[in-house]
Chains A and B, each alone.
Chain A
């Protein structure tokens, strides 16, 4: 299995509080991604990174920010959590070939915003 660790695995937070989710990889892969998974919507891309300090928005980026200061770490921040951000968040990595290689996923972070 690809070396991807997400932390925390579970979190409950209150509306309006900031939350940071961490993704750590040991594969030295260039590309990293944050997705959220919701019933009826499947997996939707939030943000992705194609290198240190290089990030871009996905299809559902509003309310989220990311940072990548090191190859191995990709942080997802909810500046002010809302109930609509209750979801399961998955981090994924991809090798340097990009579109000719699969994503490998972490085990997810279940976030509940009350």
Chain B
């Protein structure tokens, strides 16, 4: 989706390292969603953010929606091989949900 830009497109990190994935919109975000996808499988819902400045955590994954509500970041602390996969952000744009192109994360043991 051109409405949502994700960076980086791919990321290779050593196990134990921290990392950040960004999702940027040219429009104000009303409802930002993070998903994870493993190869050959569907998307798994991680977190939803709705308010500017909101921050949510699940295990070692933290997501934040910035104050101006046009960017979200996903931060993984002490990465593990189980974190590997494709991370996608989604946002309610117009009448439906659109997605970024995804960030492919590889975690090297």
Taking beta carbons and an 8 Å cutoff, which residues of A are in contact with B?
33, 40-45, 48, 56, 58, 90, 92, 99-108
Q: How far is the CB of A67 from chain B (nearest CB, A)?
A: 18
Q: How large is the interface on B (under 10, 10 to 19, 20 to 34, 35 or more residues)?
A: 20 to 34
A100–B88 touching, CB < 8 Å = no
Looking at chain B's contact residues, the main secondary structure is: strand
Q: How far does the alpha carbon of A101 sit from the alpha carbon of B30 in the complex, in Å?
A: 11
Considering residues A40, A45, A48, which has the most beta carbons from chain B within 10 angstroms of its beta carbon? A45
Q: How far is the CB of A42 from chain B (nearest CB, A)?
A: 4
- Chain A positions within 8 Å of B35 at CB level: 105
Decide: A99 near B42, CB < 8 A? Known: A42-B102, A45-B98: no
B41–A43 touching, CB < 8 Å = no
A42–B92 touching, CB < 8 Å = no
Considering residues A43, A48, A58, A105, which has the most beta carbons from chain B within 10 angstroms of its beta carbon? A43
Decide: A103 near B1, CB < 8 A? Known: A42-B99, A56-B95: no
Residue of A nearest to B102 (CB): A42
Q: How far is the CB of A11 from chain B (nearest CB, A)?
A: 15
Q: How far does the alpha carbon of A44 sit from the alpha carbon of B30 in the complex, in Å?
A: 19
Q: For chain B, residues 65 to 109, give those with C-beta under 8 angstroms from any C-beta of chain A.
A: 88, 90, 92, 95-102
